[in-house]
Chains A and B, each alone.
Chain A
């Protein structure tokens, strides 16, 4: 046994892998199965990991591949999963300040998988565009446009653009008001 078996590092990445899997699948049970599969694959294929490179990126690549291959296998189940997820969301009480987060989860769940994935990798997991692009096997520009679209759509779903719209409306209203005031005098 060598002193620095890279497999000893696997446990350190588990929390981040779970967080990504849970956020991607929106289902704790499915996420944990995915993480378990990934662990077994990583363990048994550890010789494919290049020591000195980013192990988290390597693990996330396996994790996302596991997700997409199981999604291909069970499209129907995924639809069911969505239903379960919506139910469990509805059961959660809206604690103080958690309302926005519940909205956010619902909105996040509505994004196409590829957009949600890109946003999670960049915005939450702390990967660079370059790393995410390599993991997903797409161009860097694709990751950038996916995250931008994800942000835009989330903002729309959460009504975050309303402030801007309000301000504009306010200005517009003000000018209409002042104009009507002027004309009514």
Chain B
């Protein structure tokens, strides 16, 4: 098997930037629309009869 170039400094820079792009998005937190969507879905399930 060919070894991956994970220790390559070039890949280090790329990985660091990838992490930062992700962190920025994660730091934004979860928009309220998703929390209320989940609430709505729960509510719908309750209203449409308790199965399961």
Cα A149 to Cα B9 in complex, Å, equals 16
A123 within 8 A of B: yes
Assess whether B18 is in contact with A43, with CB atoms less than 8 Å apart.
Answer: no
Given A19-B25, A43-B38, A120-B18, 9 further pairs, Cβ under 8 A: A11-B34, A14-B30, A23-B21, A32-B31, A36-B37, A39-B41, A151-B14, A158-B13, A161-B10
B interface with A by C-beta (< 8 Å)? 5, 9-11, 13-15, 17-22, 25-26, 28-31, 33-35, 37-38, 41, 50, 52
Cα A17 to Cα B41 in complex, Å, equals 18
Q: How large is the interface on A (under 10, 10 to 19, 20 to 34, 35 or more residues)?
A: 35 or more
A89 within 8 A of B: no
Cα A43 to Cα B39 in complex, Å, equals 11
A interface with B by C-beta (< 8 Å)? 1-2, 7, 10-11, 14-16, 18-19, 22-23, 32, 35-36, 39-40, 43, 100-101, 104-105, 108, 119-120, 123-125, 148, 151, 154-155, 158, 160-161, 163
Complex partner residue of A39 from B15, B21, B26, B37, CB under 8 angstroms: B37
Main secondary structure of the interface of B (DSSP, over half): helix
What B residues does A32 contact at CB under 8 A?
A: 31, 33
Q: How far is the CB of A124 from chain B (nearest CB, A)?
A: 4
Assess whether B34 is in contact with A39, with CB atoms less than 8 Å apart.
Answer: yes
Determine the residue in chain A with the shortest Cβ distance to B23: A19
Complex partner residue of B14 from A10, A35, A36, A155, CB under 8 angstroms: A155
Assess whether B22 is in contact with A11, with CB atoms less than 8 Å apart.
Answer: no
Determine the residue in chain A with the shortest Cβ distance to B30: A14
Cα A32 to Cα B34 in complex, Å, equals 9
Assess whether A10 is in contact with B38, with CB atoms less than 8 Å apart.
Answer: yes
